[in-house]
Amino acid sequence: MSKRVQILLFILPGLLLVGLFVYGFTAWTLQVSFTNWRDVGSAGDFVGLDNYIRLFSTDRVFKASLVNTLKLTLVFIGVTIPLGLFLAVLLDLNLKGRQIFRLIFLLPLSFSFVASASMWTWMFSPQIGSINTLLRAIGLGSLAQPWITSDKQALFCIAIAYVWQFSGFSTLVYYAGISGVAPEISEAAKIDGASTLQRYMKVIIPMQRPATLTVLMILLMYSLRVFDLVWLMTGGGPGSSSEILSTFMFRTAFNRNRFGYGASVGIVMFVISILIVIPFFTRLRRSEYE
Amino acid sequence: MKRGVVLLVVLCFLLTGATALSSSPNELVVYHWWTAGGEKEAIDVLFEVFIDEHPEYSIVQNPVAGGGGGILRAQIKTMIMAGNPPDTFQITYGHGMISSFVSVLQPIDDLIEGYNIPEDVYEWGRVDGVMYGVPLNLMQNNCLWYNVDLVEELGIEMPIKSIDEFLGICARVKAEGYIPLAVGAGMGQQFWLGTLFEAVNSALPGGGADFFNDYYAGKTIPSESEVFAETLKVLRTLLVNGFINDDYSALTWDQGSDLMATGKAVFYVMGDWAKGHFTSMNMVPKVDFGYQPFPGTDDVFIGHADCFVLPIGVDRKIAKDWIQFLTTVKAANTFCPIKGAAPFVLDAPLDVYDDITKEILGYFRDDGVVKVLSQFGAPPESYLDVFGTAFSEFFNTPEINDNTLGNFDYAYAEVFLF
């Protein structure tokens, strides 16, 4: 048996499983999205692009979900990356208590989303939540907010919870990147008279492009398919103010029995992910070869 | 060659996959959503009694948390589509809800023959003249619960007879620093706002059965209904005057009821399963908490039931025995008293029920009281989610204008036309 056949035999199970459960079911979802399947027991009829036309022409909640998803992504990534970098720099500075802070920064990563959602829901509760209780206790009751019960703040609250959960991951990747900078480079900058701030700003941080790309890629891929915290904290409410594409898809398919229509939402999510992720992959590969 | 054989063996093992784990003939796989106080104890005892009658059987119960069963139904659908339905599962009883599942359910007329329940109840659940679910417990939705201590402290005379009187009392309660009406409709449970809508609507002229029979059948466009707008006006009054706790969208139904139970709120509108929750907190009916039909609705009974169904493809004696067991007086009188519900079975002795349940049953059996099937049974399943969102939007911005009514029309079309 040739080596090639042996290798193929070993990777065949994985290939088959990925082929079936990833590509097979994606293709099946695409097929379902062209039908009007709207009942648990029957597969529906072919309706061409009707689902997509309805999505982009008359469906108000879909448009709101799309905008909310993009908003959540922007806030989530826009805060998590700089925050992770800042915390990684702090860890690298050899400050007192660095070990304990490293543990504190990474702790949220170990939380399950259900536990996080319960905790943040309780913290954001306007009446009994710890945030408003604290504000009232220190005489700043006028700053107490409705948080997750407000259509203007619910999405922002969810973003905070996601940032909290993922900032540890971002910190970890940047810390590894910063630790990987050769000490000679940093020393050379020091000899040339660079201050600590200048060393980080001009030498170490500019070298973190691969780490940034990695964090950006992973957070982007995750943010486009977030579901758990949104579903558990607000259920997409109040109204549709924190509805995002994944909760809208779930709701449409499993609470409203519009399986064909729900599949079309899933395909839209898939296409958006592909459009965003592929250029990044291409860029990443190119930077590896450079 | 030898290496090739080893490789092939490894490959076979890898490709074997998980074998389908079918339950044994004597294991009943049940899915239900009774996880809150009162209801969990009730279903556990019911299972025990079933096993006492059938010692050869055992129960594999899969409780899926989430009031109203939305999460459970989603899970069941995936199991059914995967060709792996459980032996039996719980859904709310009513022709609309059952219609949403009817293509995957078995008729059970022959199994429940002789089930001694009112003909009205059979009619609630029949789809094209066929029974698919066995109703277990009667529930009234238009209940007003109140904290007895607070009512006495504030000198409120019970029962409250009309919606106007109720609104006046709410203003008094608010002035005394208490929450007049507790509501919990958050964390994906926006559909409870529909329960409040039903109660208020039934208290208004032209509301109740006159409205809901057509409305839940897809024949009443919200913006064209005067009583629909009037209902919104009352709800708006409750909201803009601060008669409802402002964190309602951050609380589940039981957390909402806790506001009343712990003396922060005076009133609470919820189905009679709330009673089971209160008693599980060691509260005594008519001593710690009281009940009346929502003010102005003592001639209307908005109700539904929980039922168990048999999915197509399940042809096991144990599942059929379970369905038949649920038609017995023993099953009703084991489950209902603990859950806080009333039995359907006409010959069930009522000595095991508390006074409030007897009162509820009295309303149900009174020919002068009009029965209305609630949002959990009458409209298609999607109503709960679509209108939960629509009501949530209204509660968030309680303005009554063309835009608001347009939103409700859009939701209505989504349920009945799309």
Residues of B in contact with A148 (CB under 8 A): 186, 249-250
Tell me which of A41-55, A271-285, B234-248, B359-373 is least confident.
A271-285
Q: What pTM, to 2 d.p., does this model score?
A: 0.89
Is the per-residue pLDDT at B393 higher than 50? yes
Give A290's pLDDT tier (boundaries 50, 70, 90). Answer: low
Burial of A170 (0-12, 13-18, 19+ CB in 10 A): buried
3-state helix, strand, coil in chain B (%, to 5): 45, 15, 35
A102, A108, A109, A164, A228 from A169: Cα distances, Å: 11, 9, 7, 10, 18
- Number of Cβ atoms within 10 Å of the Cβ of A109: 14
- Of A242-246, B168-172, B335-339, minimum mean pLDDT range: B335-339
pLDDT at position B213 over 90: yes
Contact B385 A6 (CB under 8 A): no
Question: For residue B10, is pLDDT > 50?
Answer: no
- pLDDT-based confidence at B18, cuts 50/70/90? very low
Residue B12 has pLDDT above 60, yes or no: no
Helix then strand count (H, E) for chain B reads 17, 11
Domains and CATH numbers, chain A: 34-288 (1.10.3720.10)
pLDDT in tens, A24-82: 999 999 999 999 998 887 778 999 999 999 999 999 899 999 999 999 999 999 999 99
- Is the CB of residue B248 less than 8 Å away from at least one CB of chain A? yes
B392 touches chain A (CB under 8 A): yes
For B94-140, the pLDDT digits (tens) are: 999 999 999 999 999 999 999 999 998 999 999 999 999 999 999 99
Would the pLDDT of B42 be above 50?
Answer: yes
Looking at the complex, report in whole angstroms how far the Cα of residue B401 sits from the nearest Cα belonging to chain A.
Answer: 17
How high is the mean pLDDT of chain A?
91
pLDDT at B172: 98
CB contact under 8 Å between A127 and B11, yes or no, is no
Residues of chain A found within 8 Å of residue B387, distances taken between Cβ atoms: none
* pLDDT at position A193: 87
- d(CA A256, nearest CA chain B) in Å: 4
Q: Is the pLDDT of residue B19 over 50?
A: no
- Interface residue of A254, A258, A261 to substitute, partner B, most B CBs within 10 Å: A254
pLDDT one-digit tens code per residue, B261-314? 999 999 999 999 899 889 889 999 999 999 999 999 999 999 999 999 999 988
Residue A289: pLDDT band (50, 70, 90) is low
The percent of residues in chain A predicted with pLDDT above 70, rounded, is 98
Shortest CA distance to A209 belongs to which of A61, A70, A85? A85
| Residue B190 near chain A (CB below 8 Å) | yes
Q: How many CB pairs below 8 A link A and B?
A: 122
A250: chain B residues, CB-CB within 8 Å: 74
Considering only residues 51 to 70 of chain B, which have any Cβ-Cβ distance to chain A shorter than 8 Å? Answer: 70
Is the predicted pLDDT of residue B17 greater than 60, yes or no? no
A48: amino acid identity, one letter: G
- Which pLDDT belongs to residue A276? 81
